[in-house]
Each structure stands twice: as C-alpha cells, then as structure tokens.
Chain A
Amino acid sequence: MTKYSDLEYLRLSKGDKFLYRLKCFFSGIPLFFKNLILAIASAFKKLGLAVAHEAADLVNTFKNGSVPTRVSYAVMGFGSFCRGQWLRGLLFLLMEIIFIGYMILAGGYWLGMLPSLGLQGPEQVATTVTSLRGGTNTVYTTVYHDNSFRILLYGVLTLFFIVAFIYTWRVNIRQNKINDQIIRSGKKIKSAGDDMRSLVDNSFHKTLLALPLTGILIFTVMPIIFMILVAFTNYDGTHNGFSNNLFHWMGLNNFNEMLNWSSGATSYAATFGEVLVWTLIWAFFATFTNYFLGMLVAMAINKKGIHFKKGWRTILVLTIAIPQFISLLYVSKMFARSGIVNNFLMDMGWIDQAHLIKFWEDPTLARITVIIINIWIGIPYLMLITTGILMNIPADLYESAKIDGASAWQQYTKITLPYMLFVMGPYLLTSFTGNMNNFNVIYLLTGGAPTNNASSAPGTVGYTDLLITWLFKITQGAESKYYLASVVGILVFVVVAVISLVVYNLLPSIKNEEDFQ
C-alpha cells in the first residue's frame, strides 16, 4: 500500500483518512506477528546463549578458583564457611542436606512414579477370618497403593525443588567466584553481620518479598502448573487416583474431546463456541455500559450547580459496601417469576397473571437482564474511578475549547472522552478480562440458567453461563470431569492472553506515554 507523508495525509478527505488508517492498521498486523515470532526466536537465542555462558562460567570458575571454591562444587557453603560468612554457609549446607535427604527418602519415589502416575490403584482384599465359634467370614478391606493425585502433586513439587536446588547451587558457586575476586583485589569480604544488616537495608526487598512470593509460588504457581498437567490426564470423579481408579496421562486427547467438531452441533466444541461467544458479548457490554454510564453519573454529580454532591456520592458508595452475595441473590429473587418486580407490574396493571415476564427463563431476556443488573452493580465503582480522573483533566483545556467555540457535547467528545479513554485504556482492558471471568455476578444471579438442553457437554451448561461458571460446574457433582475443566481453563487463559497482547500493543497510553502529560 502507498504510504502518505504527514502533509499528504492532511490533504485527504475525512473518509479517505479513515480508510487509510484502517489499511495501516490491517497492514500492520502481519508485521506485529512477525515481530512477535522474532521476539520469541530471539528470546530462545538469548536463553541458549545464557545457558552456554553459565556453563562456560562454571568451568572457568572451577579452573581459576581457590581450593574452598572448588570444594564448594561438591559441599555447598564450604567456601562461605572458609571466609567467615557462616550464615550463608549454613544456609547453603542446610539446603544441600535437606535436598539430598528428601530425594533419597521421598523425592525419588514421586519422581519415578511421575511418568506412569502410579502402577497399582486401591483394591479390595478379601481375608478369611475364623470366628470364635469356628465359622469363617470373608472380610473385605481396601488396601491403598499408589495415589495418582499425590504422585502428580508431589512430583511437581519435587521438580520445583530440584530447580530451586540447582539455582541455589549456582548462587553458591557465583558467590565463591565473587569472593575469590574480592580476595584477589585485596578488599574486605562481607561478614555474616553485614549480610544481616543488608537484609533491612540494601537488600530489604528480599526480606519484603520472601513471604509474599513463597505464598504465590505454593498457592498459585504450583496449582496452576498442576492443573495444566491435569488437562493431559483423565482425572475425574471416577478416576480420582485414591479412593477409586488411578488416572493416567492421556496426551492431547482431552483437547481433542473438547475442540473436535466432527459430531456437529452436539459436540463439546459447539457448546464451547456458544459459551465463548456469549462470554465475549457479556464482557464487552458489561465493561462498556458500566464505563460510559458510570462516567455519565460522575459527570452529572460533579457538574457545577448540582447540590448535595457528597450525598449522591455517599448513596452510591454505600451500595459497594453491601456484600455482592446478598444484593445479587436478593435481586435475582426480585426478578423471579413470582418476585417483586412481576408483582409490581401486575399491581400496576401492565401485565396479567398469564403474561408474567420470564426474566430468568427466556434465554435472550435472561442475558439482557444480567447485563442490566450488572450495570446496577458496577456504576458506583466506575463513578468513583472516573470522578478521580475527570477532576484531573486540566480546566484550561475546557476554557480554551469554550473560547474556540466548542459546545458542551463537543467538549465531551473532543476533550473529555479522548482523555478518559487514554488514561483508562489499561483499566478497560483489565476490566474486560475481569468481566470474562466474572463468576460472582453470573453464578449468584442465574447460576447459568436457563439450561441449554441442546448441549451434551458436562456441567449442565446454561445460556447465561460464562466459561468460568461452566468450568466451575464441570468440577461439581459425582462426574466432575476435572480434566475437562482444566482444558477449559487453559483455553480461557489463551483467549485472555491473546486479547490482552493485541490490545496492549494497540493502546495509545502504552504507545505514546507522554501524550497527555
């Protein structure tokens, strides 16, 4: 396509300008993906180089190292002890002892079982017991052998531990290298006391981050890795790995089961597609209705000449305070067939007993109702956020626009809106992905209802179900196909990640950070 210079572009008509920008955008997409691939390739290259560099460094450190340094390759912390850094030495040595002990006592078993996820499941063993009176009874007891769940869990933990150990070992060697260098240049080595002091000063961030990051590692990272792995097994209610059958690796089977389109409308893929489309529609409306209406309310409250500003704001803010499960459950009952809303309409004479509005039974109406009730939930919050930003728009922008002859509406579209979109771009993105995963509103309002009877997928999926509520339902009940839930979870991640990546690269506030500052 032809590229215009700035001056040429300015001569284009309005329509041509738009077309040109559209063309630019689409012609930029291949480049974006090319850059993405190049970035990934260069990341791999960097990784390779880093590994090679590390290996070379290890060899060199050993070659040029002092005796304590060399001993430290086998006995961690030896070098540190030799140089009076007893604290570091102790920690290194402790790590090594724990690691070796763990690997011998338990880690080896978990690791060894990881490829098979267990060889022998629980079984009923019959034992013949001779009773006192001489008769014989057969007593069945369950004998537990391997436990797939634990094998997967502890296998992953063991892998974590091995990585952590290798890292510690590497740090141990690097510190020896640094110490060698310091000794060679004749400077003083940091003592254990220095180490302790630096933990509240120079390295205070290590102290601060230790606890939060451990928590995240154990309670978020590890479960996510575990659940990703579950997507490749047949872990479900009938193969739970301990009280009944073991589960096993299934390769990509589950993804095939979920995404295979071959059986047409009754395949899981059809359900997945339907739910995904509704999830995206929902996220779009939930985000933007709240955003614009919230902004509107904020502007109304902040307008010059409006009284009781604080009062209006307080009323809305207080609704945030009330836990969602109360308000949502209650509102859900208000809109039920025999709820207050229908009764009110009947009292008014607008409908009669035969024509009650089926808010939760008609698929389309249910979806619209959910979006409208979500506005009720979201506006107070958006009102607060936009108020803060509206206040930050420099007043002289409006003054100069007024002098240039802009009407109130033009001031809104030409100044307020661009400014708000610019500043809140990242917020809108996170709010969009947040709404895709908005479990509370959907589950508490409708629980996914009305049920989609055409779907054969597990979890009795309904018309207002989002991917996230569907995922939750899949894990419920006796069938609980955890592996399918994992597949859905991974797909949700992929969708969210792709949207975030694309939008993030298009957002003006990321691209031109200085524009409005």
Chain B
Amino acid sequence: MSEKDFAVPQKRHMGLKASKIISNTSIHILLAVISVIWLIPFVCILLQSFRVESTYQVGYVIPKQWGFDNYANLLKTDFPRWYLNTLIVALCAAVFQTFIVLCMSYALSRFRFKMRKPLMRFMLILGMFPGMLTMIILYRVLADLGMTQANAVPGLILVYIASSGMGYYVSKGFFDTIPKSLDEAARVDGATRLQVLFKIILPLSKPIVIYTILTAFMGPWGDYVFAQYVSFGTSAGKNVAVGMYGWLTNDQINKFYTSFCAGGVMVALPVTVLFMFLQKYYVEGVTGGAVKG
C-alpha cells in the first residue's frame, strides 16, 4: 500500500465535483445558445417592423431609423379587414370546436357501446387520407352555398368546425385518466350521465378544456391552405396568413417586407400573451394527452 492508493479515491471525488461543474456549466451555455437561436427570428421580425428608412428586404437587422410607420401603414392596406376576419373565424372555431371535441371525447372515453371500437378504427383510417384532397370538393360545395371569396368567413368557420370531431385523441386521453369510479359513484348518488359530465368531469378537466380552446383558436389563426382556397383571389375574404403571404411574393416583397414584419408582430402578439398566461394548461394538455392517444 503506497500513498498513491489512498490518494485515488480523493482525487476521483474532486474530479466528480469538478466534472459536474463543467457539465452543468456547459449545459447552461448550450441552453443559452439554444434560446438565442430560437429567439433570433422573432427578434429580427420585431426590430425590422420598426424600420422606417426602407420597406424592402435588407441584409441588416437593426433599423437605422426607428418609428411606427409600418404599423401605421398596415391601416392603409386590407390588413385590418383580414385581421378581423381571422379573429372572427378563430373565435367561433374555438368555441364550437371545443364543444364538439369535448362531446366526442367524453362519449368515447366513458361509454362502451357496440360501435365504439369500429368507430375509432374508422376515424383512424379516415385520418390517413390527405385532408388536402377534400378541399377541392368542399370549395365547390361552399361556392354553391355562396360562402366563398368575399363571404369566406362563415364558410371557413363551417369547415373548421365540421370535422373537428376527428381530433378527439388528446382530450379522450385526458378523460381516460379520470377514474371511472367517480362517474359510478355519482350515478349511484343519483346523477344522470348529463349531470355527471357537468358536475364531475368538466370541473376536473380545466386543463384540457383550456388546451382544446387554445389549439382550436391557434389552428384557424395561422391557417394558410384552406383559407387560401376559399378566399380565392378576393382580398376581402382573406385571413392574415393568406393576405400576408401575398406580401412576400417576388413582385410585392420590396413594397411590403416591413409591413409583413409589423403584421407578423400584430398576429403573434395576442397568441403569445395568451400563452404567457395559459402556458401551464397547454403544457399539461400536451404532456398528458398527446402520447396516450
């Protein structure tokens, strides 16, 4: 036994501590870098939205001349109209879609009827068809009903909510985690199934209700494809996504690049604020339901 043998454990002990400090520091640095990468585009949008000296795409980020001109310019375009369209559609879709999704997922989570399994399997298969395909016919049907182009708003609402029952997975996954014996106890206590839903299940489902509302709102808020189809060529029927997409085409970009940035900030702002407050519920919904399916 030499001194060296004794020294080894101590050295290793020191090494352990040191390596821990090194690894934790490097993780902190990594996270900081990640955060910067993730925030850069948004910071760029924000900064460029205040650029006054030119409206076209430039290679630098920090404006040479600051001002709210781009925001003021938004008012001169159809942007307010688009914004209103989007807001109406998203709010209506959020309300109705939440209602439908909750109905669907509660029924599939709590009732054991003969067609339950086949129904769920059928919807799984339906989901494998590219949804894009159905747009062609839905557009024609909406056109027949007079709900396209300038009148796109009611048409969009209808389409967003109509098939929303297919998105029942997350909330069903959540309902499945509420013990069934609560339902049973309530039914023995004299509640009908309707009362069970309103007095027991819904009060316990706050996170998932908020999550559903949030996602139902965000879908139409940023949807491009279908809105583009339905509002086809008419500025009055566009939503923000379709309208602002037009600003970035090759012949428009030099005129509207900074307007796009300002508009982007206006569109992102309400959702970001909502998220700030409801983040907890969103996280709960995603982590609780997304995987269980």
Contact = CB atoms under 8 A, between A and B. Distances in A.
A213 B165 contact: yes
B290 to A, nearest CB: 5
* Residue of A215, A343, A379 with most partner-chain B CB within 10 A: A215
Interface residues of A, number: 95
Contacts, number: 248
Given A323-B241, A334-B44, A471-B132, A343 B59 contact: yes
Contacts of B182: none
Given A326-B264, A343-B58, 12 more contacts: A149-B140, A213-B165, A215-B162, A220-B166, A313-B283, A318-B275, A327-B41, A388-B291, A424-B291, A430-B293, A433-B128, A437-B131
B128 A306 contact: no
Contacts of A497: 125, 128
A323 B290 contact: no
Interface in B26-61: 27-28, 30-31, 34-35, 37-39, 41-42, 44-45, 57-61
Contact of A204 (B24, B163, B193): B193
Judged by DSSP, the binding face of A is: helix
B164 interface: yes
Interface string B153-180: 0000001011111101000000000000
Contacts of B267: 323, 326
Contacts of B163: 215-216, 219-220
Contact of A205 (B42, B111, B161, B282): B111
A216 B129 contact: no
A302 B128 CA distance: 35
Given A212-B165, A224-B129, A325-B245, A426 B293 contact: yes
B236 interface: no
Contacts of A350: none
B194 A385 contact: no
A104 interface: no
Contact of A316 (B38, B192, B225, B248): B38
Given A204-B193, A333-B248, A493-B130, A212 B136 contact: no
Contacts of B130: 437, 467-468, 471, 489, 492-493
B41 A208 contact: no
A139 interface: no
B200 interface: no
Contacts of A306: 24, 27-28, 31
B39 A219 contact: no
A220 B137 CA distance: 10
B276 A226 contact: no
Contacts of A324: 222
A381 B133 contact: no
A242 to B, nearest CB: 9
